Amino acid sequence: MGSAAERGSAGSSAVLDGGVPPPVASIEQRGIEYVPLDHRWGKPSGLFWMWAGAVWNVEFVLYGALAVLIFGLSFAQAVTMIIVGNFFYVLTGLASLQGPRAGTTTFAISRAPFGPHGNRLPSFFNWVTQVGFEIEGIAFVVLAVIAIGDRYKLVSGTPAKIVIIVIAVAIQALLPTLGHAAVLKVLRWLTLPFVALFVIMAILTTSKVNLHVPAHGAPWGSVMIFLAVVISAGGLGWTENANDYSRYLPPGADRKRIVMAVALGGGIASALLEVLGAAIATGVPGITSVQGIAGLTQGFPSWFIVPFLIVAIFQLFAINTIDLYSSGVTLQSLIPKLKRVQCVAIDTVVCGGFTAYAIFSGKFFSLLAAFLLFIIVWLGPWCAIYLIDSWLRKNRYDTGGLLNERGRYYRRGGVFWPAIIAQVVGMIAAAVWLNAFSSTALSYEGPLASRIGGSFGSDFSVFMGLIVGGIVYYVLAARTVRAEGEATPVLPEA
């Protein structure tokens, strides 16, 4: 199994001597193809710095600000939900354990529970999700550039905005095109300047925080809706990317270190930035959600605004790199004949078009809030199925079977129906308790969400999707998947 996969991918890139990472400027040709053992140059600590560099980002400051601006939470309520929500980065850590064993990407591994044809359903959902996050990041970049241009009277009119979008999309494609090694190294380099910006913002914010705004806080239903946003934008929302980066670790890499590196790298950065965002929202007068990044600078000294926006632009490019790289390999799992670089190009064009719509429609922040809530419907059940499947088969994968659509996981017609049924049932369970509040572009309240939690309703969609999807899959698939795992050879650990 392992040697065949290695032979199949050996010509896709130069063999690395002793697991040494390739130069940053080299273009990674490998997409979902198997990563041979002598190419496994990664270490768990590298995942900590990668996730910290990606998440240490102004986007998460804005997510924290939503607690006060959109949901009406008190600062204490916001901090509590931020801490609880960011424990879900453990899910991202657990979803990083399959890559070192299987040697391929998340949605190639997802063929094991779903079958090669059945996997096209969650793969499509993930591709849309990743492109959605890319659009979010590029839109924030454009808004930041416009804010700088407005300050110096340099940007005006539709043509200037179109030029900014085109340039931003072109720059964004650079790191994902270079590939895995460039992504990990550059994000690690950027971590320290990003932390420095956070420290300055925290110092400037301290004297402005008003812990009594809003005075009475929000009802528990609204608190649960914000918790769902934190989980969706954080630990649960990254699970579908995780193995795209951990696959370059050797099969014998310590599992506890992998989980801890990922969970702490993402969770600490996310929690600190979201708390800062909530604090800014309580203390900066006149800030509104529609002002976005520019609104965060209100009340700060003038000398800080432009440097903040410039660093924020680099941060946004950094986090978008994760999404664009993963959307490319996800698209390749949908259309295997495409090369990874071709997929990045396609996603870049799609991202640019929808970013233009989001900017010029004037509905960007309303669309963003709805997007972060609606992705929970598919993501919760898929995550539970994916992790339970890995546990049942003891993390044993036939890599040749994953990459050959007629291989071990083809079963009957290329669809493993227990996973499809669990996914659909889990999505229904999540949808009935989803609350995409009326201020979003796509207002929706599930039957249970509207009946429980007072006038604002409630949202337990993330928990419903995870629990129901996971239980249904376990009941329907446990015996079959255990047998598959026992019949799968163990990959050498060195």
Residue 344 CA: distances (Å) to CA of 106, 132, 174, 338, 407: 17, 14, 10, 10, 27
Return the pLDDT at 239: 95
Neighbours of 393 (CB within 10 A): 23
- CA–CA separation, 83 and 78 (whole Å): 9
Kindly tell me if the per-residue pLDDT of 19 is higher than 70: no
The backbone region for 50, taken as left when phi is positive above 0, alpha when psi lies in -120 to 50, beta otherwise, is: alpha
Residue 31 CA: distances (Å) to CA of 34, 159, 264, 331: 8, 36, 27, 10
DSSP string spanning 19-75?
GPPPPTTSPP--SSS---GGG----HHHHHHHHHHHHSSHHHHHHHHHHHHTS---H
Task: Provide the angle, in degrees to the nearest 10, between the axes of the packed helices 417-431 and 376-392.
Answer: 140
- Cis link prior to 214 (omega < 30° from 0)? yes
Kindly tell me if the per-residue pLDDT of 133 is higher than 80: yes
DSSP string spanning 307-369?
HHHHHHHHHHHHHHHHHHHHHHHHHHHHSTTS-HHHHHHHHHHHHHHHHHHHHHHT-HHHHHH
Look over the chain and give the mean of its residue pLDDT values, rounded to a whole number. Answer: 82
**Which ranges of 179-253 does DSSP label H, i.e. alpha helix?**
180-206, 220-233, 243-246
H-run or E-run covering 114 = helix 111-114
Read off the pTM: 0.85
Residue 50 CA: distances (Å) to CA of 43, 46, 266: 11, 6, 9
Going along the chain from its start, the domains and CATH numbers come out as: 7-376 (1.10.4160.10)
Mean pLDDT of 319-348: 85
Give the residue among 186, 438, 423, 422 at the shortest CA–CA distance from 325.
186
Mean pLDDT of 240-253: 91
Kindly tell me if the per-residue pLDDT of 1 is higher than 50: no
Count the helices and strands in the chain (H runs, E runs).
Answer: 24, 2
Q: What percent of the chain has pLDDT over 70?
A: 84
How long is the chain? 494
Return the pLDDT at 9: 37
Highest mean pLDDT among 36-40, 338-342, 413-417: 413-417
- Contact status, residue 265 vs residue 50, Cβ threshold 8 Å: yes
79 or 438: whose pLDDT is higher? 79
Kindly tell me if the per-residue pLDDT of 311 is higher than 70: yes
469 or 312: whose pLDDT is higher? 469
pLDDT band at 15 (very low <50, low <70, confident <90, very high): very low
In this structure, which amino acid lies at residue 330?
T
pLDDT band at 297 (very low <50, low <70, confident <90, very high): low
Return the pLDDT at 213: 63
* Pairing assessment for the beta strands 444-445 and 435-436 based on DSSP bridges: antiparallel
Return the pLDDT at 429: 95
Return the pLDDT at 195: 83
